[in-house]
C-alpha cells in the first residue's frame, strides 16, 4: 500500500496531468533549425553562449529546441558560430515570424494557444508574431480552424472557442453551462450530438430516440396530473349514481 502511494507522489519540481502526460510538451511535430544548429528533444533551457559557456543559474528542466552543434556557441545576434569574433547578423525568419533574443519556452500553437504552465526561461530563435499560432505544418497562421480542420473526425468541426457542455444523447439540450469556452477543440456539427461511443451522430439515431422520450414524458405527466379525465374514473362515478337510485 505504501509503495502504491509513493508512486502517486510527483518529485518536487515536476508536474503531470491527469493522463500522465507532460504539460510542457507542447512542441509542434517538427522544428526547422538554422545553420550550425541541431534539434534535440531534451536540450538545456540555458544554452551556452559567447562569454558564458557555463550559465551559473539555470533550471535543470530540458525542452525540445534547436541547440548549437558541438563546438559552436551562440553569439549576441543569436547565431551559432565557431568563433565568437564572428558577428553574424540576425537570422531571417519565415513569414509571420520574428527573431527573439528572449522568446517563450512554450510558444503558442494551434494545439495549445495559451500554455498555462511554462518555464520563465528565454529561448533564442524565430517565433510566431503576436496574434499568430504555429500549426501542425510548422507555419505561423492567424486562424487555426483551416489549418487544423483535418484533425477532426466525421461530423465534427474545429472550434477555437467550443462549448464546455457539448450536446449528447444523454443531454441534447444542456440548460445550464459555464460561459468559459474550451480552446481549439473538435466538436459535433450543428444537428449532431455526441453518442455513447464518442462519435457524432444525428439526434434521431440516439438509442431510444430523443423525440420519443419527450412525448412519453409529456403524456405520462398529463394522465397523472388530471386523473378526473380518465375513462376508468368516469365509469366508476356512473356506477355510484346508478346504485344510489
Q: Does residue 127 fall inside a structural domain?
A: yes
> 151-165, pLDDT tens digit by residue?
678 898 877 788 889
Same domain, 65 and 108: yes
Structural domains in the chain (count): 2
Q: By C-alpha distance, which of 147, 160, 213 is closest to 186?
A: 160
Q: CA 32, CA 186: separation in Å to the nearest integer? A: 28
> 92-102, pLDDT tens digit by residue?
677 898 888 78
- Could you tell me if 97 and 90 are in contact, meaning their C-beta atoms sit under 8 angstroms apart? no
Domain ranges, residue 98? 18-143
What is the distance, to the nearest Å, from the Cα of residue 207 to the centroid of all Cα atoms in its chain?
Answer: 30
Dihedral sign from CA coordinates of 148, 149, 151, 157: positive
3-state secondary structure (DSSP) of residue 52: strand
**Cell output for 206:** 440516439
pLDDT at 31: 54
Cβ neighbour number for residue 169 with a 10 Å cutoff = 17
Same domain, 60 and 133: yes
Amino acid at each position: 500500500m505504501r509503495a502504491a502511494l509513493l508512486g502517486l507522489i510527483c518529485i518536487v519540481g515536476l508536474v503531470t496531468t491527469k493522463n500522465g502526460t507532460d504539460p510542457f510538451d507542447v512542441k509542434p511535430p517538427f522544428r526547422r533549425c538554422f545553420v550550425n544548429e541541431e534539434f534535440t528533444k531534451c536540450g538545456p533551457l540555458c544554452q551556452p553562449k559567447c562569454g558564458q559557456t557555463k550559465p551559473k543559474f539555470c533550471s535543470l528542466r530540458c525542452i525540445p529546441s534547436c541547440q548549437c552543434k558541438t563546438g559552436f556557441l551562440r553569439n549576441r545576434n543569436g547565431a551559432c558560430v565557431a568563433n565568437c569574433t564572428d558577428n553574424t547578423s540576425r537570422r531571417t525568419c519565415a513569414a509571420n515570424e520574428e527573431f527573439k533574443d528572449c522568446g517563450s519556452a512554450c510558444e503558442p500553437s494551434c494545439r495549445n494557444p495559451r500554455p498555462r504552465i511554462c518555464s520563465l526561461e528565454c529561448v533564442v530563435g524565430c517565433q510566431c508574431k503576436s496574434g499568430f499560432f504555429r500549426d501542425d505544418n510548422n507555419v505561423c497562421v492567424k486562424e487555426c480552424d483551416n489549418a487544423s480542420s483535418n484533425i477532426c473526425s466525421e461530423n465534427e468541426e474545429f472550434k477555437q472557442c467550443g462549448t464546455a457542455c457539448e450536446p449528447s444523447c444523454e443531454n441534447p439540450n444542456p440548460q445550464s453551462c459555464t460561459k468559459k469556452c474550451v480552446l481549439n477543440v473538435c466538436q459535433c456539427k450543428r444537428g449532431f450530438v455526441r453518442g455513447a461511443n464518442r462519435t457524432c451522430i444525428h439526434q434521431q439515431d440516439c438509442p431510444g430516440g430523443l423525440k420519443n422520450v419527450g412525448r412519453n414524458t409529456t403524456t405520462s405527466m398529463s394522465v397523472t396530473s388530471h386523473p378526473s379525465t380518465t375513462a376508468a374514473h368516469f365509469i366508476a362515478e356512473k356506477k355510484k349514481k346508478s346504485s344510489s337510485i
